[in-house]
């Protein structure tokens, strides 16, 4: 999976977990400011990443990512 495909996949998983339209999201989307939501949504996102990409991201690591792009970086590091 190349970087562009990974970005598209993560955006799809974020959209699903936060109940958003994927077309409204990009790698620059700020997770806390623009998506908000309870920590449970982040737990759901981390679980989806595990399910779909077979990558285990710690919740604290995911929660520390400011943007979707940063989250893609962290997932890429683990792949």
Partner 1 sequence: MSILDQIYEKAKQNPQRVAFPEAENEKMMQAAYETGKDGYIIPILVGDAKKLKDLSEERGYDSSVFRFVDIQEEEYKNKLIGMYVAQPGRFLKEKALARRMQDPLYYAMVMQAVEEAEVTFAGIDNTTGDVLLAGQMIIGMQPGISTISSIGLCDIPGFEGSEGSLLAVGDSAVCTNPNAEQLASIAISACDTVKALLDWEPRCAMVSYSTLGSGQGELIDKVVEAVKIAKEQRPDLAIDGEFQFDAAISPAVAAKKVGRESKVAGKANVVIWPDLNVGNVAVKLIQQFGHANAYGPMLQGFNKVVCDCSRGAPVSEIKGNIVISAVRAAGMQ
- In whole angstroms, the minimum distance from the beta carbon of 6 to partner 1 comes to 18
23-44 exposure pattern, b = at least 16 Cβ within 10 A, e = fewer:
eebebebebeeebeeeeebbeb
Binding letters toward partner 1, positions 18-47, x by CB under 8 A: --------------------xxx--xx-xx
Backbone angles phi, psi at 21, to 5 degrees: -85, 125
Contact between 48 and partner 1 (CB under 8 A)? yes
Residues binding partner 1 (CB under 8 A): 38-40, 43-44, 46-48, 50-51, 54, 56, 59-60
């Amino acid at each position: 999976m190349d970087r562009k495909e990974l970005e598209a996949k993560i955006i799809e998983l974020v959209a699903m977990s936060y109940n958003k339209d994927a077309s409204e999201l990009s790698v620059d989307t700020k997770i806390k400011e623009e998506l908000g939501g309870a920590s449970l949504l982040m737990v759901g996102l981390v679980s989806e990443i595990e399910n779909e990409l077979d990558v285990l991201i710690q919740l604290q690591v995911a929660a520390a990512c400011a943007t979707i792009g940063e989250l893609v970086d962290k997932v890429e590091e683990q792949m």
